[in-house]
Amino acid sequence: MSALAPEPAPRRLPVPRRRRDPRTLATGAAVLAVLAALHVAAWIGAEMDLGMLAEGWHGMVRFVSEAVPPDLAWDPVVKDGLKACLVTLWIGLLGTTLSIPFTIALSVLGSRATNGNAAVYQAARGVLSFLRAVPDVVFALVFVTAVGLGPFAGVLALVCNNTGVMGKLWAEAMEEVDDGPAQALRIAGARRTQLVAHAVLPACLPQLVGLVLYRLDVNVRASLVLGLVGAGGIGFLINQSIQEFRFDQMLTYILMVLVLVVAVDVLSSLVRRRLAP
């Protein structure tokens, strides 16, 4: 019995050379030139000077040497720090959840998928832009003058800022859902509120929940900054320790913040994984 003849090796065809459009090359070169010019202008405008950084390393070393090792005394450093971390967590939690009703209202009015009135749409988008443009620190300063120092001002500040940020994200998520179920309900004579409740929101609910968890992570970190302006929490203790030149206590509070942020991030990741299809 004769052996089977080996199959011929496949023939390699030459790869055609890609023709480059001169206009594409010119456009790419122009974009790179503009980006380079912007970075040069930004470098000059930001007064970047690596020489000053090299000359100031003594101050950084002295600062770190005064902060290490951290002050781990239970009373009052660690004990007060744990209480302040809990307050920081409550500020971030309430600042996220209390903004959800306002976020739903403004995102529904500010989405083309749920609102066909152009005037109302633009008004809702304007409110969201304003709440998003004003920093949460500015809101905190305003509310501190109204309700005094403490975490209540921080919660109110986060509610305002989070409504603007999350409202925009929710409105865009609503506009990306499949319009089929909403069209079917519209043909059946459903009202706009029924379209939102039974077609739009259920379709993008996992994405909305994911955005809420993401904003919770952001707001817990933001509440730390709000504490620097008198809104309570661990940020207030960090600011106080800096003013008293107790950098060892400051490092202790920063380590506590690190643990808090990592814990919230892990918890959010677990919840998002559970909600993933």
- Residue ranges of domains in the chain: 72-275
**C-beta of residue 109 within 8 angstroms of C-beta of residue 124:** yes
Task: List Cβ neighbours of 42 (8 Å cut-off, separation of 6 or more).
Answer: none
Q: How far is CA 218 from CA 112, 165, 214, 261, in A?
A: 27, 11, 6, 9
**C-beta of residue 156 within 8 angstroms of C-beta of residue 143:** yes
C-alpha gyration radius of the chain = 28
User: Would you tell me how many other CB atoms lie within 10 Å of the CB of residue 222?
Assistant: 25
**C-beta of residue 223 within 8 angstroms of C-beta of residue 91:** yes
Structure tokens at 8: 């011929």
**Dihedral of alpha carbons 214, 105, 167, 176, sign:** positive
| Domain covering 72-275 in this structure, CATH number | 1.10.3720.10
pLDDT of amino acid 7: 62
**C-beta of residue 185 within 8 angstroms of C-beta of residue 176:** no
Low pLDDT (below 70) residues in the chain: 1-21, 177-200, 202-203, 275-277
pLDDT of amino acid 39: 92
Task: List Cβ neighbours of 207 (8 Å cut-off, separation of 6 or more).
Answer: 173
Query: Which single residue is written with the structure tokens 């949460």?
Result: 136
**C-beta of residue 246 within 8 angstroms of C-beta of residue 105:** no
**C-beta of residue 106 within 8 angstroms of C-beta of residue 173:** no
pLDDT of amino acid 186: 63
Structure tokens at 175: 């506009």
- At how many degrees (to 10) do helices 79-97 and 151-175 cross? 40
What predicted TM-score, i.e. pTM, was given to this entire model? 0.73
Chain centre to alpha carbon of residue 98: 17
